[in-house]
């Protein structure tokens, strides 16, 4: 794995563990020589992970829509920054530049981003691993909801299990690196 997209909050959240584990993920990415691809912002967990990867000597690619760059949240010190027109272009370019995806805690944008790439895996648009860094149980309700989708016949057990979950950055990166996804039609008979 050469690069990984990290989706995360443009705020810090209300637990110091979010920032602590975000920095641990940054350290693990640099140790493994994995390029960070992220949303290009200098604020919240987004800015924190970029700052830490850069501080440790790693490579960071940001992808930011013009409108947000104009709002002065663009990170000025990245290895590479792509300014795109729309959020759709942002997500498409991040997916193209990445070998896998991780969601840290965040808001509805973070949720939307990880669910979209997870859906693309299910539909066979890519075979890149997707994971949730479940800091302090942040994603417990989401994984419970997805399990309910599977139990009620709307999400196959195979596809449910392709979304990897771990509370530890090293453990999650190991799972992402080891995962081999093969396309299976999503339609349950």
pLDDT in tens, 63-102: 999 988 877 689 999 999 999 999 999 999 999 999 999 9
Structure tokens at 164: 């990897």
pLDDT of residue 25: 98
61/24 Cα distance (integer angstroms) = 18
Contact 113, 126 (CB under 8 A): no
178/162 Cα distance (integer angstroms) = 12
The torsion region of residue 131 among left (phi > 0), alpha (psi -120 to 50) and beta comes to beta
pLDDT above 70: percentage of residues in the chain: 98
pLDDT of residue 72: 65
99/34 Cα distance (integer angstroms) = 10
pLDDT of residue 71: 73
| pLDDT tops 70 at residue 189 | no
Please determine, looking at this structure, whether the domain spanning 3-138+163-178 carries the CATH number 3.20.20.330: no
The torsion region of residue 33 among left (phi > 0), alpha (psi -120 to 50) and beta comes to left
Which H helix or E strand runs over 51? Answer: helix 44-55
Helix (H, G, I), strand (E, B) or coil at 33: coil
CA neighbor of 112 nearest in space, from 34, 168, 39: 39
Q: Is the dihedral of CA 147, 38, 23, 16 positive or negative?
A: negative
173: Cβ–Cβ under 8 A, 6 or more apart, which residues? 1, 4, 28, 29, 32, 34
pLDDT of residue 73: 86
pTM for this model (two decimals): 0.95
| pLDDT tops 80 at residue 31 | yes
pLDDT of residue 188: 61
- Beta-bridge partner residues of 82: 63
pLDDT of residue 98: 98
Q: What is the mean pLDDT of the chain?
A: 95
Structure tokens at 180: 């081999």
């Amino acid at each position: 794995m050469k690069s990984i997209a990290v989706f995360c909050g443009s705020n810090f959240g209300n637990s110091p563990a979010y920032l602590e584990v975000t920095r641990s993920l940054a350290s693990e990415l640099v140790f493994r020589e994995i390029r960070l691809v992220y949303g290009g912002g200098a604020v919240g967990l987004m800015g924190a992970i970029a700052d830490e990867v850069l501080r440790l000597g790693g490579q960071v690619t940001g992808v930011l829509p013009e409108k947000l760059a104009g709002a002065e949240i663009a990170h000025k010190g990245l290895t590479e920054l792509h300014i795109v027109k729309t959020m759709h272009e942002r997500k498409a370019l991040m997916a193209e530049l990445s070998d896998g995806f991780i969601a840290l805690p965040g808001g509805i944008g973070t949720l939307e981003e990880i669910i979209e790439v997870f859906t693309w895996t299910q539909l066979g648009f890519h075979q890149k691993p997707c994971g949730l860094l479940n800091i302090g149980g942040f994603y417990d309700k989401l994984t419970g909801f997805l399990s309910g989708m599977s139990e009620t016949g709307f999400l196959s057990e195979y596809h449910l299990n392709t979304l990897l979950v771990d509370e530890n950055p090293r453990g999650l990166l190991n799972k992402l690196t080891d995962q081999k996804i093969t396309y299976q039609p999503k339609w349950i008979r």
